[in-house]
Amino acid sequence: MSANRAHYPIATMCRVLGVSTSGYYAWSSRVPSARERSDKALVERISAIHTTSRETYGAPRIHAELAATGNLVGRKRVARLMKQAGLRGISRRQFVTTTVRDGGRPAPDLVDRNFVATAPNMLWVADITYVPTWSGFLYLAVVLDVFSRRVVGWSMSTKLHSDLVLGALNTALAARKPHSVIHHSDQGSQYTSLAFGKRCREMGVDLSMGSVGDAYDNAMAESFFATLECELLARHRFRTQAEARSAIFQFIEGFYNPRRRHSALGYLAPNEFERATASPGLPEPAGPRSGYQGQALRARPSGRGLDSRCARRPAKPAGRDEGTGSAGGRTKELHT
């Protein structure tokens, strides 16, 4: 009625719509309620958090961010206000991934899909993916610490050689200096290479590899690549490999490790989770843990998602090891 009052009399519109004229004037002169004012201020705060998160956060992470800053509101209220404001998080799309396999000697599976650890530098997971650019593929290898989901080592190259995974491993070793750690990966030729195995033996790293053709055996690394694909790669097109390198560096070191809230860590960022668990007197953030004494991780945890052992399913290895061809072997699809 307010939008059409220049074209039609208020009394006529009230009669057509079945409302009283006095009721309309009372409504139009009424000041916003305390709830409306609160919702307006909350929407502004939610919009700021959504922008800071690179427009990737949905209601759960925005709710956690609000709680961390002292704004205790309901999660359903956050979801309702986001919907009204047209804000939404990023959802994953279909993935396409690659890795090369050959006849190298694989290591035993010391993890058995039990992706849990009680302290940093006990279990690392590693994998490779590719980043499409207008000037060709850029390959990315990462090493994640299972305890905090932190990317502790990573490297990029235009070639899918063993130097790629060696670079990521050496970065992780230099940054973390572990005394004894399990390095879990797939059976790609880069990880079964003589150079990589020799470096692991020199540094006291125990090699572990999942079975062929089963993404669940390296699910945590696959999950990180799915996040990278969803929140960065699917939203940008890179003209040059230098542009892709810069964007990936900013995502990992500027957002994912220091700021991105992780649901499996009680909605703390990986760096924040490590600081919280290392500080005496602070309660340990929510997140399932299980014991580990340097042997295979076999105990069934009570957590959910990647913190519980996936049920093994009889399935053909199609998809992971029957991808596009490349020099030196076949290319398998990794979930990004």
Q: How many domains does the chain have?
A: 3
Q: Are 315 and 179 in a shared domain?
A: yes
Q: Are 211 and 190 in a shared domain?
A: yes
Question: Residue 132 corresponds to which amino acid?
Answer: P
Question: pLDDT tens across 202-246, in order?
Answer: 999 999 998 877 778 899 999 999 999 888 988 888 999 999 999
Question: Residue 35 falls within a domain, yes or no?
Answer: no
- Residue identified by tokens 């295979």 is 296
Q: Are 179 and 64 in a shared domain?
A: no
Q: Are 213 and 302 in a shared domain?
A: yes
Q: Are 252 and 320 in a shared domain?
A: yes
Question: pLDDT tens across 120-166, in order?
Answer: 999 999 999 989 899 889 999 999 999 999 999 999 999 888 999 99
Question: Residue 24 falls within a domain, yes or no?
Answer: yes
State the average pLDDT for the chain: 79
What's the pTM value of the predicted model, to 2 decimals? 0.60
Question: Residue 130 falls within a domain, yes or no?
Answer: yes
pLDDT on residue 325: 37
Q: Are 162 and 209 in a shared domain?
A: yes
Q: Which two tokens stand for residue 136?
A: 């060709």
- Which own/partner pairs from 172-180 qualify as long-range (CB within 8 Å, at least 24 positions apart)? 172/124, 172/143, 173/203, 173/205, 176/120, 176/121, 176/145, 176/152, 178/121, 178/205, 179/121, 179/204, 180/122, 180/204, 180/206, 180/294
Q: Are 113 and 78 in a shared domain?
A: no
Which structural domain, as residue segments, surrounds residue 17? Answer: 1-30
The torsion region of residue 329 among left (phi > 0), alpha (psi -120 to 50) and beta comes to left
Q: Are 26 and 45 in a shared domain?
A: no
Q: Report the C-alpha gap between 113 and 217 in whole angstroms.
A: 5
Domain with residue 184: its CATH number is 3.30.420.10
Q: Report the C-alpha gap between 211 and 19 in whole angstroms.
A: 70
